Chain A
């Protein structure tokens, strides 16, 4: 079944004809060429595909494009403004919070969800809240440092 979905992605209105079974991550990567959102496991476990839907984190591999009708989707590509990295991205760069970088978009998007709920997260909170994000390079130590620094920068 072909359906039409209308949604806002990174501030831009988009309309696409897709099959009903199209996942949000497929819409982003294959229809909109936004390949920053990664597919690590495709089984809802790894968090590489995390984006924000209406302000809260969601695994884009476990969400139909159809379910996002009218929604406001934010991906990693939507964070930098005028060529300047978002404070959370800058913190990941500064604290070497990535090795191969595959998990990084999901980590950064989850980090923003952590800051939404815990504006000043301590280390234990960050580790617990990153439960849904896996890093195969096991760079967790610096990821945790980056999230704390990013949160601090966002508090201003």
Chain B
């Protein structure tokens, strides 16, 4: 790892000022992605601005039919939060399935979505629930947040403060996990919401996407059998040593059915 200057601001204004002033600076949250990347010398920031001391990024608040989760909430804190479990159980459960216990103790919601790994779990929940990303500059709908492979709508220096998730009528997430890393080979988040059915798929393509054919099938009746005959085309899906595009397309159907069945339980 190349050396860098380390900063630990204690409030949001200072963090924004610091990251705004450093052209090659990076925000540091849990470090569970950024530090391995820096160790491999794939990233070489001049400055790290550690967000651990910024109180504005903490906390989980249930409010008005939804829940707002601070960017620095660890996967473990999200998994074990009684408020979150009560408001959106599928989301709390998803957080408990990320990586392994030591990763969950440090990895954060903000870091996960800012990183936008195509196989990460949280992006499926944001898109599946129609969440809103709150930054220090604006609000961004989840549908507009994930732009591509490791690419988001965030501008340089923009800080994710929290994510607001509307509570669905019912929802569930199922992933076919890579047996080594636990990242999703295919993960499907289904939700029956006030504005219709949403099906978000992670792990399968270059970024999280909505499976509109499955959404339409489920709109008629929210039940696993509605998905018989509906499918996502393999064209454009990832093909790698873990799974071919055809296999991923097949897994999307299987995970979607399991998620719908789980949501109905």
Write out the residue numbers on chain A whose beta carbons fall within 8 Å of the beta carbon of B181: 45
Write out the residue numbers on chain B whose beta carbons fall within 8 Å of the beta carbon of A42: 39
Let me know if B102 and A43 touch, CB within 8 A: no
Chain A interface: which size bin? 20 to 34
Bound Cα distance from A120 to B105, whole angstroms: 20
The verdict on A132 contacting B3 (CB below 8 Å), with A43-B39, A64-B31 known, is no
In the assembled complex, how far is the CB of residue B13 from the closest CB belonging to chain A, in whole angstroms?
A: 21
The verdict on A63 contacting B106 (CB below 8 Å), with A21-B1, A113-B101, A129-B101 known, is yes
Chain A, 18-50, contact with B by CB distance < 8 Å: what is the 0/1 string? 011101000000000000000000111101001
- Give the interface segment out of A7-15, A54-62, A72-80: A54-62
Write out the residue numbers on chain B whose beta carbons fall within 8 Å of the beta carbon of A99: none
Chain B interface: which size bin? 20 to 34
Among B155-211, those with CB < 8 Å from A are 180-182
The verdict on A20 contacting B52 (CB below 8 Å), with A131-B100, A131-B101 known, is no
The verdict on A50 contacting B102 (CB below 8 Å), with A21-B2, A45-B180, A62-B32 known, is yes
Write out the residue numbers on chain B whose beta carbons fall within 8 Å of the beta carbon of A66: 6, 8, 50
B4 interface residue, CB < 8 Å from A? yes
Show 28 A/B contacts (Cβ-Cβ < 8 Å), sorted by A.
A20-B3, A20-B6, A20-B48, A21-B1, A21-B2, A21-B3, A43-B36, A44-B103, A47-B100, A47-B102, A50-B102, A56-B76, A56-B105, A58-B105, A63-B106, A64-B31, A64-B48, A66-B6, A66-B8, A110-B101, A110-B102, A113-B105, A114-B101, A117-B101, A132-B99, A132-B100, A132-B101, A133-B100
7 A-B pairs with least C-beta separation: A132-B100, A20-B6, A131-B100, A57-B102, A1-B5, A56-B105, A21-B3
Known pairs A21-B1, A50-B102, A57-B102 / 5 extra A-B pairs, C-beta < 8 Å: A64-B6, A64-B35, A67-B52, A132-B99, A132-B101
- On B, residues with C-beta under 8 Å from A are 1-6, 8, 28, 31-32, 35-36, 38-40, 48, 50, 52, 76, 99-103, 105-106, 180-182
